[in-house]
């Protein structure tokens, strides 16, 4: 009888509650605006190289400055906001990006470019942990869907950034970057509204039970799984950084494409990343985050190995396939980590979003040095080296199965 009553009670509780879609779309759109502005930095590398006679090492240093700024600060922001809510931190971070764009458009030397990159990185450090937290709060239990919808906004922004660079900034010069600061002001207004919702949500949930921080597995297994997820994130983002930072140079060098056409190639890749990111979340809700990680990390290996040997047509096709498959893993990795360490949403988001930026930035800097050291064939060598990185995804076999929730 008691078992029957327990079964009925369990069945009466829906697996998912109603998600607050307006907030999910708002943080996703805020992510789109944020990453449009951030992706401009990488998209304009060919322009900066011409204007300031930059080496590949200096280009890698620009990426490193932006991404390390975000990497070091994001976990700090996550820890602080786990302890003390800061609903209006999001518009403050967007304001930092606003000033970074103005500085980027008016820079006259490499040092000012570095300062502008660090301001944009600070905006990213504040935005990602807090907006990821709000996406989870508004998810209604559909954590994979919420994270993927949130992240697809960023991926879409990264895909749109090269188009803005190709059709607005390149024809009008570096000064036109400052015009795009109006995007940041739209973001400030939108995220101020999201902050007000966060304040009301906290008031309504104040009387509810506190979030459990009980680990679902023994501590040593949680730590081992967490380290594997961190390594998978590093591998994925170093590879992705090699494409986002140097793909334009690769197709220009190998296939003789123009700068504008190379931006369209980058758009194809980043567009497939956006699609893959969105698909990963709902699939993870249905089949589990571990399944998505398996499929994404291991499924991309043969395509990554073929890419350096492909002609122009197959480079287009393979870059789209790689972006589609590889990108589906990240939302699943974040959700899996949040389930491993419950009650630490900001910290987990800060670590994984921050580590994603940091690993990608460090990888970009090292790959830039490698390209410089091998002369005219250096950028092609970078893609041969990176083709083997996804093989580290075989460590996925050591991820534990999570216990079923009742």
C-alpha distances (whole Å) from 83 to each of 77, 343, 345 are 10, 11, 11
SS3 16: coil
**Domain-located, residue 127:** yes
Whether the Cβ atoms of residue 27 and residue 149 lie closer than 8 Å to each other:
no
pLDDT at 193: 92
Check residues 234 and 196 and name the one with the higher pLDDT: 196
Per-residue pLDDT, 190: 92
- The confidence band for 149, taking pLDDT boundaries of 50, 70 and 90, is confident
Over 70: is that where the pLDDT of 257 sits? yes
The CATH number that applies at residue 334 is 1.20.1250.20
d(CA 351, CA 115): 23
Each residue of 81-121: pLDDT tens digit?
Answer: 777 777 788 898 898 988 888 888 888 888 898 999 899 88
Position 16 scores a pLDDT of 45
Task: With H, G, I as helix, E, B as strand and everything else as coil, classify residue 62.
Answer: helix
pLDDT at residue 12 in the model: 37
Q: How far apart are CA 313 and CA 135, in angstroms?
A: 38
Q: In the structure, what pLDDT confidence band is assigned to residue 212 with cuts at 50, 70 and 90? A: low
| H helices, E strands: number in the chain | 17, 0
Q: Is a pLDDT exceeding 70 seen at residue 357?
A: no
**pLDDT the model gives residue 211:** 59
Cα 365 from Cα 359, distance rounded (Å):
10
% pLDDT > 70, the chain: 90
Would you say residue 403 lies in a domain?
A: no
Residue 10 included in any domain: no
Please calculate the CA angle 366-368-369 and round it to the nearest 5 degrees: 65
Q: Is residue 6 one of the residues assigned to a domain?
A: no
pLDDT at 406: 43
pLDDT for 147 beyond 60 = yes
pLDDT at 15 over 50: no
Tell me: pLDDT of 41 over 50.
Answer: yes
Nearby residues of 30 by Cβ (< 8 Å), 6 or more positions away: 90, 94, 127, 131, 153, 187, 190, 191, 194
pLDDT higher than 70, residue 356: no
What is the sign of the dihedral through the CA atoms of 187, 192, 196 and 202?
Answer: positive
Give pLDDT tens digits for 159-179: 787 778 778 887 887 778 888
Q: How many domains does the chain have?
A: 1
Is 406 domain-assigned?
no
**pLDDT tens for residues 195-204?**
899 888 888 7
Residue 186, in any domain of the structure: yes
Question: For residue range 368-403, what is the model confidence (pLDDT) as tens digits?
Answer: 788 888 777 788 888 888 888 888 878 787 888 776
pLDDT tens figures, 241-253: 777 778 888 888 8
- Does any domain span residue 330? yes
Model pLDDT, residue 42: 73
pLDDT per residue over 266-320, tens digit each? 888 877 887 887 787 778 777 777 888 888 888 888 998 998 888 988 988 998 9
Q: Which range marks the domain in which residue 393 is found?
A: 21-204+212-398
């Amino acid at each position: 009888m008691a078992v029957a009553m327990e079964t009925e009670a369990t069945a009466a509780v829906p697996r998912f509650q109603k998600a607050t879609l307006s907030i999910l779309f708002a943080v996703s759109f805020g992510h789109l605006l944020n990453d449009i502005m951030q992706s401009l930095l990488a998209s304009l590398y060919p322009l900066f190289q011409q204007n300031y006679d930059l080496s590949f090492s200096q280009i890698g240093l620009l990426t490193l400055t932006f991404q390390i700024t975000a990497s070091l600060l994001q976990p700090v922001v996550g820890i602080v906001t786990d302890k003390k809510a800061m609903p209006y931190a999001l518009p403050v971070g967007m304001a930092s990006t606003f000033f970074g764009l103005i500085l980027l458009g008016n820079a006259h030397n490499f040092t000012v470019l570095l300062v502008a990159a660090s301001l944009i990185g600070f905006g990213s450090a504040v935005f990602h942990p807090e907006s990821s937290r709000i996406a989870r709060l508004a998810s209604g239990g559909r954590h994979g869907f919420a994270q993927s919808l949130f992240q697809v906004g960023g991926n879409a922004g990264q895909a749109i950034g090269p188009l803005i660079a190709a059709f607005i900034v390149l024809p009008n010069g570096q000064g036109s970057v400052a015009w795009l600061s109006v995007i940041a002001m739209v973001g400030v207004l939108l995220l101020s509204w999201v902050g007000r919702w966060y304040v009301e949500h906290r008031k309504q949930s104040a009387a509810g039970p506190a979030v459990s921080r009980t680990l679902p597995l023994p501590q040593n297994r949680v730590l081992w799984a967490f380290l594997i997820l961190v390594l998978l994130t590093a591998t994925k983002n170093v590879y992705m950084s090699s494409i986002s930072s140097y793909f334009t140079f690769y197709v220009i060098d190998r296939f003789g494409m123009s700068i504008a056409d190379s931006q369209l190639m980058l758009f194809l890749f980043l567009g497939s990343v956006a699609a893959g990111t969105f698909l990963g979340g709902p699939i993870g809700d249905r089949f589990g985050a571990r399944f998505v990680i398996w499929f994404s990390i291991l499924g991309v290996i043969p395509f990554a190995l073929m890419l350096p040997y492909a002609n122009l047509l197959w480079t287009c096709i393979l870059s789209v396939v790689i972006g589609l498959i590889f990108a589906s893993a990240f939302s699943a990795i974040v959700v899996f980590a949040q389930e491993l360490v419950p009650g630490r949403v900001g910290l987990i988001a800060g670590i994984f979003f921050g580590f994603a930026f940091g690993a990608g930035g460090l990888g970009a800097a090292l790959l830039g040095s490698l390209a410089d050291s091998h002369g005219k064939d250096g950028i092609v060598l970078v893609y041969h080296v990176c083709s083997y990185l996804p093989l580290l995804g075989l460590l996925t076999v050591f991820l534990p199965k999570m216990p079923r929730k009742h």
